[in-house]
Structure 1
Amino acid sequence: MQVDKHVIDQVNAVITIVLDKADYQEKVEKTLKNYRKKANVPGFRPGNVPAGLINKLYGKAVLAEEVQQLVGESLYNYIKDNQLNILGEPMASLDQPAIDFDTQESFTFMFDVALSPELTFTLNKKDTIPYYTINITEDMVNEQVKSMASRNGSYVKVDVAEEKDVVKGQLTELQADGQPVAEGLVVDDAVLMPAYVKEAGEKAKFIGSTVGQTVVFNPALAYDKAETELASLLRVAKDVAVTIESDFAFEIKEITRYQEGELNQDLFDAIYGKDVVTSEADFRERVKASIEAQFAPESDYRFMVDAKNVLLKKLSDVAFPVDTLKRWVLTTKKDQTEASVDADMPAMIEDLKWHLMKEQIVKENNLTVTDAELLETAKKVTRAQFAQYGMMNVPEDLLNNYAGDMLKKEESRQNILDQAMSAVVAGYLKGVIKLNQKSISVEDFNKLYA
């Protein structure tokens, strides 16, 4: 076997693999012997099929399979042993000679490869990159406090119904004269919220109603014959619900109202743990700090976007194997066209430059993500998920369990590892370049992406 690399230019090469009969013959013969032991050919017992017949039946397919496998292994090992940093995957060369497994004993395989260019750049304090810190306003704190209070509220019984209250009672189907229908529909413990009643006149009947009062209304009119709402209220199948047009008497037995939690010690304990926070001022400071923590990843992400825009200027003259990469994309992504690849290629090259630059930064500076850093990143993701539901005081053991489960899933683990490595690179960059610190409103921050 002979494997050679022919350099076309700095970023393109052709790897040629030449196989002679001696390279594959032993494997082919071994495979055919195994076929002979197992082959089920009419007229012959297993293991007694003539070798010539086995070769005639399976020889070409076995030869092709063994040669292809040997070529694949040889190509992979050559790239690995010679530490070739290639982009994409090797492709059959445009100059690949024809292969005929019926007549040839020596085979030549040629592969076009796109080589990663060598990057030369330096980073120092002359490189200035903006870092945006989002201002946390009183309105933002107030909104978060209101949200927390709302999520930690409770239902209380009231006497007079408002639009958003829950009205409970007994529904009784009525005749045209207002009397109950004999053996008609009766729903005990019926539940209704005026806010979801669609027809204004029917809704108004319940607003201001009181416990013990009986409200006569028409469900079909109230809900505009919406089968889902009617079926839920009347406790019947949807196809039955849409046929019911009678008035009903709703005897109100209970009215409940959701009451937001008050800013008191009970609320502080529910969110942060018993006696961790003991005053409204401390509570608001903690809320502000939690909002700042939620926005910190946004600032870091924007920092890396701006770092890319600034630092890639150092690589403006670096050549890339554009034509080879275009062919690779068209080969591997069947939904792409030449026009779409041409349109996407400039952005793809910029992303590729940034990826290679970050890889080189990691390699040259021995940057790594420790197991502890990986777990902490997973815990940050978990905390953020819990925080969306107002759960700020998640026990450490629960965080560890959730984070550990995330890291057991390959896709989740890779995503978290990417986040952790990005944070490591960002931390390194902050130490070697000059940060232009800027405070900014959340509205203006969002405009940066416009």
Structure 2
Amino acid sequence: MNITKEQIDDLNAVVKVALTKDDYQDKVDTILKDYRKQANIPGFRKGQVPMGLIKKQYGKAVLVDEVNKLLQDNLNKYLTEEKLDVLGNPLPKQQESLDWDAEELAFEFELGLAPSFDVKLKTKKAITQYKIVADKKMVEEQVERIRKQYGKIVSKSEVGKNHELTGIFKNEAEEIEHKTTLELDKVKSKKALDTLLGKKVNDTVTLKTKGLFKEDYLLSAALGIDREKAEKLNIEVEFTIEEINERELAELNQELFDKIFGEGKVSSEKELKAKIKEDSEKQFEQQADQKLLNDVTEKLIEETKFELPKEFLHKWIQVSGENPLTEDEAKEEYEKSEKGLRYQLIEGKIINENNLQVQFDELKEFAKGFIKSQMAQYGHLNPEEEELENIAARVMGNQDEVKRMSEQLMSQKLLNLYKEKANLKVKEISYENFVKEVYG
């Protein structure tokens, strides 16, 4: 066997493989002998079928199969040994006719080669790293929510300021009929508030949807419709009152603190607010980190310039899927995936150049941390180490979970690298302003 490479340009090459009968004939003959032993052909005893008949019936198929296996194995070995960084898989060049009985068989494969490029983490323009702070207003609102959540519900005979109303919204034309709880402190429309004040159970009022709530997202939940529909809605709806309640706020005392955070963890209103601020900012950090990761990714794709073997990738996409694509379909698919491919190459280079690796022990600890946070959401705050070990062992036995967590851990390592080496400018911002600035 002889394998050679012809370099077409920096991004394309052709590998030529020449096989002689010595490379495959012994293997073909062995398989055909096995076929002969097992063959059941009318008119012949088992194992006594003439070899000429076996060759005539099975010879070509066995030869083709063995040659393809030989090509695949040796081509992969060649690419590894030559350290060729290829995109997609080698594509066999079409041959008009191939004489399978010839003394030598020649095959050619097109290669798409990964480009050579440099990645500069210090981008030309600084990338904003958001530090989301829980401001005084947010902390006070959270304290209020806690006091409401753990307070007493007292039934009232008529609607008063800041009461909660349970009732049904209706509009036949829009097919709306939805039971909900309406908190008056979240209602923005003064006209709606004036209409509701003083009403009693079983009273029905008509309210306008536009500008009804202080926050736009509340309308979709109240009416039981999707947010896209709610954003465009400007109609009148009927609201029939079924319950009128007032929440008496819970006292900020040790009993409440222990109930929320565990015994002795918080012992004053000042500590409560500090804890709320700390927990909120820890939660916000995940959002800020994801935003940073997305922004660095976009900036690296924008500033890291290199060419790709487009024509080769078009051909490869055409034939690599479950169903073959047309040339136009393959081009369209390439356009959709080009950005992701570019970042995959950039990320791979960053990982290699900075020797970022995911070790088994740290992956296991990462899994335990994830399990612990999941358990905390269900009130299990202090699991035993043995319990965590057992659950982590089960998780690590699932290859899909291991792959998913490995990707998450590598993303965390990349994020830490970007925080250390990228061109960043830190911006402190409230959560409310972060949402406005980032999401509009």
Deviates more, 1:71-80 or 1:268-277: 268-277
Kept in 1, the 8 Å contact 2:317–2:330? The answer is yes
Name which of structure 1's ranges 70-79 and 42-51 shifts more when overlaid on structure 2.
42-51
SS at match of 2:297: helix
In the alignment, structure 1 residue 365 sits paired with structure 2 residue 354: yes
Contact kept in structure 2, 1:15 and 1:112, CA below 8 Å: yes
- For the pair 1:433 / 2:431, whether they are aligned, the reply is no
Kept in 1, the 8 Å contact 2:315–2:330? The answer is no
* Aligned with 1:354 (options 321, 343, 347): 343
Would you say the 8 A contact 1:11–1:116 is kept in 2?
Answer: yes
**Segment drifting more, 338-347 vs 401-410:** 338-347
What amino acid is the match of 2:342?
A: K
Gaps of 5+ in 2: 158-163, 168-178, 182-199, 203-246
Aligned pairs for 1:180-199 within 5 A: none
Are residues 1:114 and 2:112 paired?
yes
Q: CA RMSD in A?
A: 3.9
| 1:58-97 matched pairs, under 5 angstroms | 58-93=58-93, 95-97=94-96
8 Å Cα contact 2:366/2:409 also seen in 1: yes
Q: 2:307 aligns with which of 289, 296, 319?
A: 319
- Deviation readout 1:15-39 (Å, 9 max, x if unpaired): 1212111111011011112212222
TM-score (norm 1): 0.68
Q: Is the 8 A contact 1:294 1:384 kept in 2?
A: no
Aligned length: 363
| Comparing 390-399 and 126-135, the one that deviates more | 390-399
How do 1:271-350 residues align onto structure 2 when only pairs under 5 Å count?
271-316=260-305, 318-333=306-321, 334=323, 338-339=327-328, 341-343=330-332, 345-346=334-335, 348-350=337-339
1:393 matches 2:391: no
Aligned to 1:448, the other structure's residue is in SS state: helix
**Greater displacement, 365-374 / 108-117:** 365-374
TM-score (norm 2): 0.69
The one-letter code sitting in structure 1 at the alignment partner of 2:416 is G
Q: Quick one: distance in 2 between partners of 1:282 and 1:376?
A: 30
Residues 119, 350 of structure 2: 8 Å contact kept: no
The whole-number CA distance in structure 2 between the counterparts of 1:283 and 1:405 is 37
- Cα distance in structure 1, aligned partners of 2:265 and 2:118: 53
Preserved CA contact (<8 Å) 1:377 1:419: no
Cα gap change, 1:144 to 1:355, in 2 (>3 Å): farther
Residues 114 and 308, structure 2, Cα contact 8 Å, conserved in 1 = yes
Structure 1 equivalent of residue 207 of structure 2:
none
SS at structure 1 position matched to 2:413: helix
State the identity as a percent: 34
> How many angstroms does 1:329 deviate by?
1.8
Pair 448,104 (structure 1): closer, same or farther in 2 beyond 3 Å: farther
The aligned residue for residue 34 of structure 1 is 34
Which amino acid in the other structure matches residue 31 of structure 1? Answer: I
Relative to structure 1, the CA distance from residue 85 to residue 267 in structure 2 (aligned partners, 3 Å threshold; closer, same or farther) is: farther
Q: Matched residues in 2 for 1:146 and 1:52: separation?
A: 91
Answer yes or no: is the 8 Å Cα contact 2:4–2:17 preserved in 1. yes
- Cα gap change, 1:407 to 1:46, in 2 (>3 Å): same
Distance 1:288 1:384, change over 3 A: farther
Q: Render the CA deviation track for 1:260-305: whole Å, top value 9, x for unaligned.
A: 9875545544554432333343334333322222232322222222
Question: 1:359 Cα deviation (Å)?
Answer: 1.6
Q: Aligned equivalents of 2:342 and 2:267: distance in 1? A: 52
> Is the 2:120–2:304 Cα contact (8 Å) retained in structure 1?
no
d(CA) in 2 for partners of 1:28, 1:307? 55
Counterpart residue identity of residue 5, structure 1 = K
Q: Residue type matched to 2:112 in 1?
A: A
Q: Given the alignment, which residue of 398, 402, 413 partners 2:402?
A: 413
What is the identity, as a one-letter code, of the residue corresponding to 2:98? I
Contact persistence 1:97–1:109 (CA under 8 A): no
Q: Which residue of 2 aligns with 1:448?
A: 438
**1:135 touches 1:442 (CA, 8 Å); kept in 2?**
yes
Instruction: Provide Cα deviations, 1:100-144, integer angstroms capped at 9, x if missing partner.
Output: 54x444322221111001122444597632211223245654666
Amino acid at match of 1:87: L
2:383 partner letter: P
Distance in 2 (CA, whole Å) between partners of 1:127 and 1:18 is 52
- Which secondary structure does the structure 1 equivalent of 2:84 belong to? coil
Do the aligned partners of 1:126 and 1:433 also contact (CA within 8 Å) in 2?
no
Amino acid in the other structure paired with 2:285: A
1:17 maps to which residue? 17
Do the aligned residues in 1 keep the contact of 2:130 with 2:292 (CA within 8 Å)?
yes
Structure 1 or 2, whichever has the larger Rg, is 1
Alignment partner, residue 98 of structure 2: 99
**1:81 Cα offset (Å):** 1.0
The equivalent of 1:423 in structure 2 is 412
After TM superposition, give the deviation of residue 204 of structure 1 in Å.
5.8
Cα deviation for residue 395 of structure 1 reads 1.9
SS state of the match for residue 428, structure 2?
Answer: strand
Contact 2:372/2:383 (8 A) holds in 1: no
Q: Is the 8 A contact 1:131 1:436 kept in 2?
A: yes
Classify the secondary structure of the residue corresponding to 2:265. coil
Q: 1:157 to 1:430 in 2, by over 3 A?
A: closer
The gaps in structure 1 that reach 5 residues or longer are 166-193, 197-202, 206-257
